[in-house]
Structure 1
Amino acid sequence: MSTQTSPLPTTLNPDGKSLYNASSGVKSSAYEQFPPPFNPNRNGFDFHVYYRQEDENEKQFARELHEKVRREFPELRVYKFWEKPVGPHPTAMFEINTFSPHETGALFSWLAVNRGPCSVLIHPNTDDPYKDHTELYTWMGKAWTLKTDILKQLLKH
């Protein structure tokens, strides 16, 4: 966040709704690197794509989505296609990791229009995995209740 203390303008842009911001000529470093408290030794975000394993149509859609993600984003780390719940996740899923703000934005926008019936849990990776999954997360689609007791157990070890 900027440390400048001069007042921001209240002038509206030509659309009559949004506020005019004069360019400083320098973009935020958050476009290039994740800010604290991200853990610099981990990937920035996890995207967990959930599907209902008992619904064969949804399972097939998720399997095809998994393949599409791998083809569209070969530079990202994509995990195996789980056909059952694993860890704190209450339903079957697969996971995708992003390593930069640009990758995160690209995957987010792509999944927003391509995820179909699947839900997506998106969370950062800081030094507090419990908080990452319970406070700092966001969802696309239906929100699922995580098995937070498993997360608590992982933190004890």
Structure 2
Amino acid sequence: MEITSYHAHLYYDESTYAKALLVIEKAKALDFIQVGRAHQKEVGPHPRWSCQFLFAADKLNEMIPWLLENRDGLTVFTHANTGNDYLDHTQNTLWMGEILELKLDIFK
């Protein structure tokens, strides 16, 4: 299994959207990640509104402490990107905060 990169998904809802935007703005200042769109709807397998942070495999050791310090109590789902979406969303994962049930049917 070769990990090519990682996605960290910051989860929020209508009541925590403003808090999430502050975390997202801080993330944009990092030079080693790409920040996706702050969705105000559920996207893909994600059970809440989310924003994706994409970073290289060799940046995991920098990103995890940053997320721990900056997530402001929000749930973060991080997964490897290996080319196997199902395994990447079920076994190659890290959670901070709540562990939520993903909509895995899209991978079947």
TM-score (norm 2): 0.92
Which has the larger strand fraction? 2
Cα displacement (A) at 1:112: 0.6
Residue 65 in 1 paired to residue 23 in 2?
Answer: yes
Cα distance in 2 for partners of 1:108, 1:117 equals 14
Cα displacement (A) at 1:119: 0.6
Q: 2:82 aligns to what?
A: 126
Letter of the structure 2 residue corresponding to residue 45 of structure 1: Y
Deviations 1:70-117 (A, max 9, x none): 01x13311101111110110100100111132x211111011111012
Q: 1:54 aligns to what?
A: 14
Are the equivalent residues in 2 in contact too, given 1:85–1:92 (CA < 8 A)? yes
Cα distance in 1 for partners of 2:10, 2:107 equals 18
Cα displacement (A) at 1:138: 1.3
Cα displacement (A) at 1:151: 2.2
Cα distance in 2 for partners of 1:70, 1:81 equals 12
Calculate percent identity across the aligned residue pairs: 31
Q: CA RMSD in A?
A: 1.3
Cα displacement (A) at 1:127: 2.5
Are the equivalent residues in 2 in contact too, given 1:38–1:124 (CA < 8 A)? no
Cα distance in 1 for partners of 2:19, 2:55 equals 22
Deviations 1:52-72 (A, max 9, x none): x231xx11110110010001x
Cα distance in 2 for partners of 1:65, 1:48 equals 12
Unaligned runs of at least 5 residues, structure 1: 1-36, 153-157
Residue 148 in 1 paired to residue 108 in 2?
Answer: no
Q: Which has the higher contact order (CA 8 A, sep 6+)?
A: 2
Deviations 1:112-146 (A, max 9, x none): 11101211111111131101101111101111110
Unaligned runs of at least 5 residues, structure 2: none
- Matched residue pairs, number? 108
After TM superposition, what 4+ stretches of structure 1 lie above 4 angstroms from structure 2? none
TM-score (norm 1): 0.65
Cα distance in 2 for partners of 1:100, 1:135 equals 16
Cα distance in 2 for partners of 1:150, 1:64 equals 30
Which has the larger helix fraction? 2
